Amino acid sequence: GNPDAAAGIRLEEVGKPNLILVTDAHRDEVGDAVAIAKASGARIVTPSFEFGNLLAGWGVPEAQVMRRNPGGRFAWEGITIRVVGSVHGSGGTDPGSKFPVYGGIAAGFVVTFENGYTLYFMGSSAATQDMALWAELYKPDAMIFLMSGFTEPLDAATAIKLVAGKSPNLKTLIPHHQRVAPPPGALTVADVRKALDSMGVSIPITSLAPKQSVELKK
């Protein structure tokens, strides 16, 4: 249902990912994760135990389902993924019956790569003071922040400021739930930029185009 998907990549172009992180069971988060995992053999690190059960029921091999809950962690070849809280829903839809199903609780992820570079993916969470705690603990270098039609510029900017205030390493901001051509009334990168400037946060926002990739490095 995403109008931007027509400009995206096809399943056969994805290649061989190792890990997939899905923050909740909503269809706009799950996307093609199941198909990608089946085709590639990638592991999916879950935000909750219940969501792992859904993935297995949807045909993802058990060996590829890494069931975790907030507070849990997953280590793979020098990469550490910490599961952290998220204030958001997580209801899913069974693809076979089309009935709503319980997807457990939502979560975010703090990913530390082999070289120490750390990424905080907040998922679809509202801004919470917990974000400052995780920033203080893990000092992320980059943050994927929520930006969608139901979020005010101040909400998105506040989440960023909470993290920036506790992580001197934060240098990269990437929007999540961003439309390439936002419909009328939807939040834009310019809106968030203006809110950040009013708060004294000068970290640049990296706005991605379809098929664009970003290299994250120290």
Residue 100 has pLDDT above 90, yes or no: no
| Residue 149 banded pLDDT, cuts 50, 70, 90 | low
| pLDDT, mean of residues 169-196 | 91
The per-residue pLDDT for range 21-47, each reduced to its tens digit, is: 999 999 889 989 999 999 999 999 999
Query: Is pLDDT at 169 greater than 80 in this prediction?
Result: yes
Nearest in space to 122 (alpha carbons), one of 150, 91, 172, 156:
156
The pTM score is 0.94
Confidence of residue 15 (pLDDT cuts 50, 70, 90): confident
Q: Average pLDDT for residues 155-182, to the nearest whole number?
A: 94
